[in-house]
Amino acid sequence: MKRILPLVLAVSFAPLANAQSPNPLDGTWRGRSDGGSCNAPLDYVITIEDGFVDGSAFDTTAKPPQPRLTRAPSPPPGPGLWQLHGVAKQGSFSILAVASVKAEDQRRSRLTASLQGDALVVTESGGCGRTARLTRN
């Protein structure tokens, strides 16, 4: 019994020794982007937990399909909701953005995020070229 007790204690405290230090980016980040070239700002809500990024960006100016008043086909609605996923790293890191639209009009984009002071700056390299400064809540 005396030989087993040190082994039991060592095994029971092993998970504490292997625990990762918290990521400095962990938390919930919120903010609004500029309109970019599309003049369509996005409201961001990003949660980073243990370095994993999950969130959404919502275009408050997006409108649903409008009824056609002429014989011309109506333009397709723009994406109003973007799903965001990625892995946060020190320095800058990439976030995958996928638009919530029908399969035939699926849109994907890559965003770049970096911590600048107390703000998480998210920039869109293509598309509208929007930039957002998010603050931690």
From first to last of the 137 residues of the chain, give the pLDDT tens digit. Answer: 556 655 555 555 555 545 566 778 999 999 999 989 888 899 999 999 999 999 999 987 776 666 777 777 665 556 678 999 999 988 899 999 998 776 666 788 899 999 999 999 999 988 889 999 999 98
Check: CB of residue 40 under 8 Å from CB of residue 136: no
Domains of the chain, CATH where assigned:
18-61+77-136 (2.40.160)
Check: CB of residue 93 under 8 Å from CB of residue 87: yes
Check: CB of residue 94 under 8 Å from CB of residue 84: no
Query: CA torsion, points 93, 24, 36, 61, in degrees to nearest 10?
Result: 120
Percent helix, strand and coil across the chain, each to the nearest 5: 15, 45, 40
What's the full length of the chain, in residues?
A: 137
Which pLDDT score is estimated for 9? 53
Which pLDDT score is estimated for 23? 78
Which pLDDT score is estimated for 90? 86
- Entry pTM: 0.73
